[in-house]
Amino acid sequence: MNSQEQRTEALAPARAARQKQWERQADPAGVLSADELAAAVDRLKKAHYRRMALASAKKRSRDAA
């Protein structure tokens, strides 16, 4: 087993826990179907990472000025 595989294996529980967090955030009542839940989680993730990218760009812009 190489180091990449070891990292992947070691971080699997953390990735699973984070996925559960996304799912709870997207559907706190647990009423969505699997397809609807996957789509809602995808939308949440995209919005989250877009906010992070925007904050990063603003910070880089301020640092460059």
pTM (two decimals): 0.81
- List, as one string, the DSSP characters of 4-60: HHHHHHHHHHHHHHHHHHHHHHH-TT--S-HHHHHHHHHHHHHHHHHHHHHHHHHHH
Burial 4-22 (b: 16+ CB within 10 A, else e): eeeeeeeeeeeeeeeeeeb
Q: Could you read off the pLDDT of 31-44 as tens digits, one per residue?
A: 999 999 999 999 99
Q: Could you read off the pLDDT of 6-16 as tens digits, one per residue?
A: 999 999 999 99
Average pLDDT value for the chain: 96
Q: How many CB atoms lie within 10 A of CB 44?
A: 15
Q: What is the mean pLDDT of residues 13-38?
A: 98
